[in-house]
Every structure is written in C-alpha cells, then in structure tokens.
Amino acid sequence: MKARGNTFVVDTTNSPYAKLRPVPIENVHLEDSFWAPRISMIREKTIPSQHEIIEETGRLFNFRRASGKERGGFRGLYFNDSDVYKWVEAAAFSLAAGRNDDLHRLTRQTILEIISAQDDDGYLNTYFTFDNKKKRWTNLRDMHELYCAGHLIQAAIAYYRATGEHELIDAACRFADHIDETFRLGKRDGTPGHPEIEMALVELYRLTGKRRYLELSKFFLDNRGKGLIGGSPYHIDHKPFRELDEIVGHAVRSVYLNCGAADLYMEIGDERLLEALFHLWRSMTERKMYITGGIGSRYVGESFGEDYELPNVTAYAETCAAIANVMWNWRMLLITGEARFADVMELALYNGVLAGISIDGEEYFYVNPLADRGTHRRQRWFKCACCPPNIARLLASIPGYFYSISSEGIWLHLYAQGKVSIDVNGVSVKLTQWTRYPWDGDVKIMVQPETESSFSMFLRIPGWSRKPKVLVNDQPIDQPLSAGSYLEIRRLWKHGDIIQLVLPMPIEQIVCNPRVMENQDRVALKRGPLIYCVEQVDNPDFDVWNLILPLDSKMEAKWEPSLLNGVVIISGEAYAADDEIDGQLYRVETSSSVKMRRVKFTAIPYFAWANREPGPMTVWIRSLMLPHQAT
C-alpha cells in the first residue's frame, strides 16, 4: 500500500476498464477567489465546528460508551457513527490539501476513540453493543450496519493516503474481513438496505490489492433484486442491477449504488453493468433531474418521482443526493472520458451542492427547493445529519476533481486559477491556470514540461458554451470546436507554451420540457455553469413570484464584490404582475389581459440564496408574455 502524497477521490491508477487515472490532491494547488476560499473555510470553520457538534450531540460519546470509557445509553439515531466517519474523511482530504497541526491532532484523537470501540472479532458499530449485540446483522434493510461500515472504510482510506498512519485502515480492514467472513465466505445471503459499502470495498481493494474486498462488493451487488431486503423499488431491490433501466427509489441509495456498480465495472469490465449505468444515467438526466443538478423530487421516501415530476416549492432535492450525483458522474467520466458526465458533475457541484452550505460554512440545507416563500432556512445541524459532514468531505476533496491523466496526456475537467504538477509518461509537467471562472470564461493555461515532450492536452469544452475559441501561443487552432466534448490538442509541448480558452458566458433563458407542468410558461436564467434565482431581498418593490420576464428582456451581468462574498449578478428589465384577485381563491376569467408594471430586477446565483433576510425566492420565472400586452 502506497500512502502519503497520493490522496485520491477514486484511485483508478490500475483499474483496467477506466480510461482516466487520477491526479493526487496534494499535487493540485488552487489559488482562485472561488474554490480556494471555500476550501480554507471548510478547513478552518466547517470541520472544527462540526467536530464540536458531533461531540455535543453524543456521537463521540457513543464510541467512548462502546469502549467502556463512559456509561449511559446510546445517543441519537442508530446510524450516527457514519457522521463521525464522514467528518474524519473530510479532515483527511483537508490534511491532504494542506498541513494543519491542530486539525491533525484533533483527527488523531477522534480516530483513537473510534478504534477503541472495535470488538475483538473486528465488528465496529456503536449502536450494536451491549444489549443490542444480539441484533447484529439481523436487519440489513433498515439498520444501516453496512452503510456505516462503508463510511468507516472510506474515511480510513482517505486518512491513510493523506497521512500514512495505519491504525484506522487496520481497523477498517479487520471490519471488512469480519463482514466477508460473515456473508460471502459464511454463505449468508445479504445486501445493504442503504448502499455505500459497495464503492468503499472496491476502493479498499484498490488500496490493499486484496481481491476478497472486490469479490465482497460484487457479492452485495449481485444479491440485489432477490427480495432479500423486501424487493421494493425504494431499496432498488425490485430487479437485479443489470436489468435496471429506470432510476427509482430513495435518491441517495439509488445513486450510491450506481457509484458502487461503476467502481466494480472499472475493475471487472462487466459490460452489462455499464449498459445498466448508461440506461440509469439517461433516465435521471433526461427526465428526473432538476436544472440545478439536484435529484430526488419527493419528500415521501426522499425519492425519485415519476418522469418529469419536478415540483419547485416541494422539491426535496436532498443535498446528499446532489453530492451523490457528483460522485456518480465523476466515476462515469473516469470510465469513458466523455464530457457529458463532466457537464452534469459541474452543474450539480456549482448549484445543487453549493446551495447546501451557507457562505460562512456553518449552516446547511438538507432539502433544496427551487421556490420558497421565505420559510426555508439553513440549520446548524439536523437530527439526521448526513448532509453536513457529507458536503464537508466533498468540498475538502475538490482539488481531486480538476485533472486526470491517460496514456495520451492530461485532461482538464474543471477550471480555476492555480497550479498542478503531473507526471505524463515519465515527464514532469507543470500547469498554471489563470481565470476568474465561474464568473468569467477566459482561461489561460501555461504548460511547462521539464523537457520538451509530445503529448495531448484535453480541454473540456462545456456543454453550456457558445462559440468557444482556443488559441495556442496566440494562434487559433485549426480544429473544430464542439460544446459538450473534450478538445484534444496534441503537439510537442515546450516550456512556457500558452493555451487560451475563451468561453463566452451570455445570459440565457432556459425553458423546460412541457411535460414538467410546474414550469410551463416559465424560464430559468443561466450564465456559464451557474443557475440563477430571484430573491426578495434584492427586489423589494414587487413579489418575485409575480415577476414576468419577456423573452427579449435586456439583461446584463455585473460583478458585485461586496455582495455575498463576491458574485456576478444579473440585472434587467421585466414586468411585475398585479394579479391578486381581491382575496379570492378563484374567479371567473373575463379578460385575457394581466395587469403589469415595468420593473427592474436582480438575480443572484442559486447557491447563494437564503444567506440574508428571509423572503420569497424562485428559480423558474413566469415568461412568454409579450411586451405589447403590458399596460
């Protein structure tokens, strides 16, 4: 096992069926005004404040109780261990990105509490101790034992890679061995009610080289669809995985399962797995995904709804589900090298995920509506607190998503100012990016190989881009550019070569498939990768739910450095409808006209809403009203 200096989100270095290989987090140094401050915020505010909360809510007490250090009853929900593990993983990724002695010390203390609670046989779950010990492995559908184990394994892998310290990974391997002996080797059928362990076991195989972990992951996936956990679509147990063609059920469960299947495919090359993943991806992105990249529209079961069932006020769109969307698309990108997966990953990251955390890094959304009357606010924590540490671990690992390598060369997926060092077929190459992305689409990249070297640079041309341009050393390239693809530039690269990528960011009005009933005659504003919303605090002269935006509205984008830690706003001219009907709920329509008045409006990025005073908000704005109908 190679540790320290090789911290990956997903390590496909030796995966035979992956097209792309990872670049260690340690090699990527972001220096921009968008991601770098957020990564610092996660390290300096979010992770420490979350540790205070997992202590005060009894999550760490549960480990001390299980080890005999403290007495009392179990505190909280039966899967609370997983929040501690996600916190450790966030801390590990943060330590990989930059040394922090205080955080290292705090993480070690937490890990010692975890491993002290492990049983002699390797079992580790603080809920199933003492009187509950006899209930172990008796309810895989509901009790999240395998889910918690998966998060322990992922935390242990990240911490070992970041620090080289082996105590937690040793404990995780002992637990994984116990699970393997109980189920696969013990001839005991089972599959988790909440998928998570599948991808964790594949990553453990990648780290250790022990094939038993890969076989155990396959064992759990192959047992789905046999009715072992009830056979319901909610648990994605209604069909064998390879027969799935529609994404259904609990959104996080469903997409975590897809992550595990994608990881498994990259190691064993089962084409039926990949075929199912493509079907599920199209089902989600073409019929069941919000414009923000959020998924899971129903409060009931935190689940996917029917095709085109995408309500706005009652959107569930759990933060964890948007995170899962990023995770799955990252894996699909590693498999294929296709930009469509990077496009969805970016969409979910900048919109669905980032809305889940306040701009000060200490409050969170569990649910992410696309319209609200001002009552939905972020919270410091939740009784079921899966989302806060989940968003912390994702944002702490962000540097690991920017670049990949292949046998042909270097792949650039996301853009941000900073530097990276990459080994390309034995040649050390340094890249430096200059850009204000996502606020501006101009990107300049300096290529600095230690010796002149021939390889390809693959630049992602986002699917949202219009009329992109690429120059090398001030000369336009003689290649066609296609939005939603990777542009391959192959040449003999010399120290100091400059690539310029120009991605114009016009303000666009996006319309929805008419089968989404709520969004008929409405538009959403998009600029670059960002979805916008109108919030009452910026528009005090009218109710933003009454805003009507003509298709020919004049709009402009403007940088506001003092607003919401610095954002580009969209401002323009529109109309406000005065269509209250004298307090009545219904009336007989006697005129086709709607009373309107001219107004100026301001829109902000969706991720930044609800950080100021409460008030109505909406993403989808009434439209398709021609100016000559106004009075």
Sign of CA dihedral 219, 393, 525, 403: negative
Q: What are phi and psi of 257, to 5 degrees?
A: -60, -40
Among candidate residues 255, 246, 266, the one with its CA nearest the CA of residue 206: 266
Instruction: Give the pairing type, strands 621-623 and 547-549.
Output: parallel
Distance CA 198, CA 204 (A): 10
Residue 433 CA to its chain's centroid (Å): 23
Annotated catalytic residue, options 173, 386, 387, 533: 386
Active site residue 613: no
Surface-to-core class of residue 571, CB atoms within 10 Å of its CB (0-12 exposed, 13-18 middle, 19+ buried): middle
Interior/surface letters 295-327, b for 16+ CB within 10 angstroms, e for the rest: bbbbeebbbbbeebebbbeebbbbbbbbbbbbb
Q: Which of 182, 175, 181 is nearest to 204 (CA)?
A: 175
Find the helix or strand (DSSP H, E) in which 447 lies. Answer: strand 442-449
DSSP 364: B
What is the Cα–Cα distance from 476 to 474, expressed in whole angstroms?
A: 7
**Cα(339)–Cα(486) distance, integer angstroms:** 6
Nearest C-alpha neighbor of 87 from the set 149, 147, 151, 144 = 151
Question: Which parts of 303-366 are beta strand (E)?
Answer: none
- Concatenate the DSSP letters of all residues of 475-510 into one string: EE-SS---TTEEEEEEEEE-TTEEEEEE----EEEE
Number of residues assigned to the chain: 631
DSSP 15-55: -TT-S-EE--GGGEEE-SSSHHHHHHHIIIIIHHHHHHHHH
**Torsion of the alpha carbons at 307, 308, 312 and 318, rounded to the nearest 10:** 40
Which residues, listed in sequence order, are joined to residue 372 by a DSSP beta bridge? 617
The three-point CA angle 242-244-246 to 5° equals 155
Active-site choice (198, 203, 302, 318):
302
Phi-psi region of 624 (alpha: psi -120 to 50; beta: other; left: phi over 0): left
Which H helix or E strand runs over 548? strand 547-549
Tell me: cis bond preceding 388? Omega within 30 of 0 counts.
no
Active site residue 386: yes
DSSP type of residue 141? T
Kind of pairing, strands 522-527 and 530-535? antiparallel
Cβ(440)–Cβ(58) under 8 Å?
no
Q: Which two tokens stand for residue 492?
A: 């003999």
Neighbours of 120 (CB within 10 A): 6
Backbone angles phi, psi at 138, to 5 degrees: -95, -15
Q: Which residues are catalytic?
A: 302, 386
